[in-house]
Amino acid sequence: MSPTPAGPDAAPAAAPAPPRLDPAVAARLKQDPSGLVAAVVQQHGTGEVLMLAWMDEQALALTLTTGRATYWSRSRGELWRKGDTSGHVQHVRSVALDCDGDALLVVVDQVGAACHTGTATCFDGRDLGAVVGGTP
């Protein structure tokens, strides 16, 4: 017997549940009072720092399970996957948690500009002119 086709009154198919963060990883994660962790994003191969973003547990779970960098937008109050609107995608190569558990290092292959302003990194042309220290 063939399945009955869905009619106009048929219930929509349930959306798949979002991935959940591995409990062992969640236990090591030290979030700020807003539930966020800083994510330093670095270009694979060159080590260049591209940007700083924020992740909540869902953004981290999506990043770890999809191969695409996903972040939490503090200004918009929502998840955003890098490149969905700009086309400037970040393909994840690795994710590491720092020794204190309060920061992530996300190593990516960046496609296009990393910064929303169109620059290669969020730090291009923004040097503050600090005095360079040296060995006495």
* Residue 109 annotated in ligand binding: no
56 is in an annotated binding site: no
Asked whether residue 102 is marked as a ligand-binding residue, the answer is: yes
Write phi, then psi, for 49 (nearest 5 degrees): -80, 125
* 122 among annotated binding-site residues: yes
Q: Which two tokens stand for residue 31?
A: 């979030």
Q: Which residues contact 49 (CB under 8 A, 6 or more apart)?
A: 40, 41, 42, 43, 121, 123
Tell me which H or E stretch contains 80: strand 78-81
Annotated binding-site members: 98-100, 102, 115, 122
Annotated binding-site members for Zn(2+): 99, 115, 122
Annotated binding-site members for Mg(2+): 98, 100, 102
